[in-house]
């Protein structure tokens, strides 16, 4: 028996394949191979199960979801199941014809990632020459078709100075929302902390810019903000609380409480090939491992913020404290907090650190120019 409520949102990672090689990629170090990806019919069944379970919003993600040739068919199936569909894309692999087909299939919303506001920055960070130009073309098509658009600007030490321009671009593109997300250091991004960690001054400036822009652009643009948490005093409420509002389905059908959950070695994950989605959500061992507050040790157990942030991020606690049940070291009450802030300063001071690109077998880091 459990008191868990139904999930609101599901992230369907349709594939780990991706034309970009971002050094902060949030996909697992060990990616699901193409021959392990769920088939079209299996995804359709998952979407129907998700709707029955109570999911309202479906985020179609990857990797690059446009890499899946059946994307239009999957969108149609999700709409037929009654789900609100959001495509999370870099834009690479989308043509105007394909976007129109997605519109006809019922796609509700597009979330376009932004690696930088200039071709030089964006192409360097994405490891894909010509990517920025392509993305700007895709943004025009998105506007012409009339999809509601969210821009997702991922920021770090190298491009934080471009935040004001990213906000301008969101307005120019007619986006209703921008997600200003400072890089979260999970998975592959951990290899790039020296290259990407913002300085404390940059992190503070970003917060100031966001606060000012929220007032100035009220009614025009909604700004979601994920601050540089290594420099913060309280952690983020990761996933809205473990197993409380959302679930992720990996390309091979494993069902995860969050995108980085596979970094917690003692957890085992159910697969939609073997078990019904509702059983996995309510009774799965991984979902119940850190659900609610009963699992919390001190200082979280007696903290007045325990239902505000649910102890922060389990994957970050694993990566930084070696214990997924520990208080997130971002928190001032964590015994690791002081050490973390010192490490953040040290990472931020490593000025000459080179980017370590996300590699995929058989794919060059920088694609040839068209």
Binding-site ranges for ligand SF4 (CB under 6 A): 234-235, 299-300, 303, 305-306, 309, 311-312, 327-328, 331, 333
Residues 335, 337, 338: CA angle, nearest 5 degrees: 100
Q: Which of 314, 336, 347, 358 binds ligand FES (CB under 6 A)?
A: 314
Q: Are 328 and 313 in contact (CB under 8 A)?
A: yes
Contacting ligand FES (CB under 6 A), which of 238, 247, 272, 326?
A: 238
Q: Are residues 242 and 291 in contact, defined by beta-carbon separation less than 8 angstroms? A: yes
Distance CA 76, CA 8 (A): 20
Q: Which is nearer to ligand FES, 149 or 154 (CB)?
A: 154
Contacts of ligand FES in 196-215 (CB under 6 A): none
The tally of CA atoms less than 13 A away on the side-chain side of residue 30 is 5
The rounded distance, in Å, linking the Cα atoms of 281 and 173 is: 38
Total chain residues near ligand FES (CB under 6 A): 9
Q: Measured from the CB atom, is 281 or 310 closer to ligand SF4? A: 310
Which does residue 314 touch among ligand FES, ligand SF4, none (CB within 5 to 8 A, set by kind)? Answer: ligand FES
158 neighbors 347 (Cβ within 8 angstroms): no
- 155 touching ligand FES, by CB under 6 A: no
Instruction: Select from 340, 342, 314 the least CA-distant residue to 326.
Output: 314
300 marked among binding-site residues: no
- Tokens representing 52 are 């029955």
Q: Which is nearer to ligand FES, 132 or 310 (CB)?
A: 310
Element (H, E) at 212: helix 200-216
- Interface with ligand FES, residue 250, by CB under 6 A: no
25 in a labelled binding site: yes
260 binds, among ligand SF4, ligand FES, none (CB under 5 to 8 A by kind): ligand FES
By CB under 6 A, tell whether 260 contacts ligand FES.
yes
In the complex, the smallest distance separating the C-beta of residue 26 from ligand FES, rounded to whole angstroms, is: 8
| CA quadruple 317, 320, 322, 326: dihedral, nearest 10 | -30
Q: Which does 328 bind (CB under 5 to 8 A by kind): ligand SF4, ligand FES, none?
A: ligand SF4
Nearer to ligand SF4, 127 or 241 (CB): 241
**Pairing mode of beta strands 149-155, 109-114:** parallel
277 binds, among ligand FES, ligand SF4, none (CB under 5 to 8 A by kind): none
Distances from the Cα of 145 to the Cα of 78, 97, 99, angstroms: 20, 11, 8
Place of tokens 């998105």: 142
Q: Which residue has the tokens 């609100």?
A: 84
| Cβ-contact 135, 122 below 8 angstroms | yes
The answer to whether 258 is a known ligand-binding residue is no
Residue 318 binds which of ligand FES, ligand SF4, none (CB < 5-8 A, kind-dependent): none
Give how far Cα 114 sits from Cα of 6, 140, 192, 304, Å: 32, 14, 18, 37
**Angle between helices 40-53 and 71-80 in degrees, nearest 10:** 30
- In angstroms, give the least distance from the CB of 265 to ligand FES: 13
In whole angstroms, the minimum distance from the beta carbon of 2 to ligand SF4 comes to: 22
161/333 with CB nearer ligand SF4 = 333
Work out which of 92, 139, 209, 258 binds ligand FES, going by CB under 6 A.
Answer: 258
With CB under 5 to 8 Å by kind, the binding choice for 186 among ligand SF4, ligand FES, none is ligand FES
Cβ burial, residue 361 (10 Å; 0-12/13-18/19+): exposed
Q: Which of 58, 107, 272, 313 binds ligand FES (CB under 6 A)?
A: 313
Q: Which residues are annotated as a binding site for [4Fe-4S] cluster?
A: 18, 22, 25
Q: Which residues are annotated as a binding site?
A: 18, 22, 25
Binding residues (CB under 6 A) for ligand FES: these are: 186, 238-239, 258, 260-261, 313-315
């Amino acid at each position: 028996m459990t008191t868990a409520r139904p999930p609101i949102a599901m992230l369907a990672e349709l594939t780990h394949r991706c034309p970009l090689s971002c050094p902060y990629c949030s996909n697992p170090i060990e990616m699901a191979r193409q021959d392990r990806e769920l088939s079209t019919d299996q995804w359709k069944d998952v979407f129907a199960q998700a709707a029955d379970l109570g999911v309202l919003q479906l985020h179609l993600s990857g990797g690059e979801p446009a890499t899946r040739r059946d994307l239009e068919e999957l969108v149609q199936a999700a709409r037929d199941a009654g789900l609100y569909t959001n495509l999370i894309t870099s834009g690479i692999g989308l043509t105007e014809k394909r976007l129109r087909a997605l519109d006809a299939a019922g796609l509700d919303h597009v979330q376009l990632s932004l690696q930088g506001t200039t071709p030089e920055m964006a192409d360097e960070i994405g490891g894909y020459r010509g990517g920025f130009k392509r993305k700007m073309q895709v943004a025009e098509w998105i506007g012409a078709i009339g999809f509601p658009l969210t821009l997702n600007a991922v920021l770090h030490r190298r491009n934080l100075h471009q935040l004001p321009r990213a906000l301008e671009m969101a307005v120019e593109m007619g986006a209703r929302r921008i997600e200003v997300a400072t890089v979260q250091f999970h998975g592959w991004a951990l290899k790039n902390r020296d290259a990407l960690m913002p300085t404390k001054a940059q992190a503070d400036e970003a917060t100031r810019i966001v606060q000012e822009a929220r007032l100035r652009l009220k009614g025009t643009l909604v700004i979601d903000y994920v601050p540089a948490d290594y420099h913060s005093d309280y952690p983020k409420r990761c996933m809205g609380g473990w197993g409380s509002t959302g679930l992720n389905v990996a390309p091979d059908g494993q069902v995860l409480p969050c995108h980085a959950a596979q970094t917690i070695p003692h957890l085992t994950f159910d697969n939609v090939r073997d078990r019904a989605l509702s059983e996995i959500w309510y009774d799965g061992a991984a979902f119940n491992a850190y659900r609610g507050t009963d699992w919390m040790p001190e200082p979280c157990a007696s903290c007045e913020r325990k239902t505000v942030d649910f102890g922060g991020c389990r994957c970050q606690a694993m990566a930084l404290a070696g214990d997924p049940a520990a208080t997130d070291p971002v928190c001032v009450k964590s015994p690791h907090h002081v050490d973390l802030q010192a490490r953040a300063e040290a990472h931020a001071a490593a000025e000459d650190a080179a980017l370590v690109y996300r590699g995929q077998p058989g794919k060059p880091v920088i694609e040839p120019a068209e």
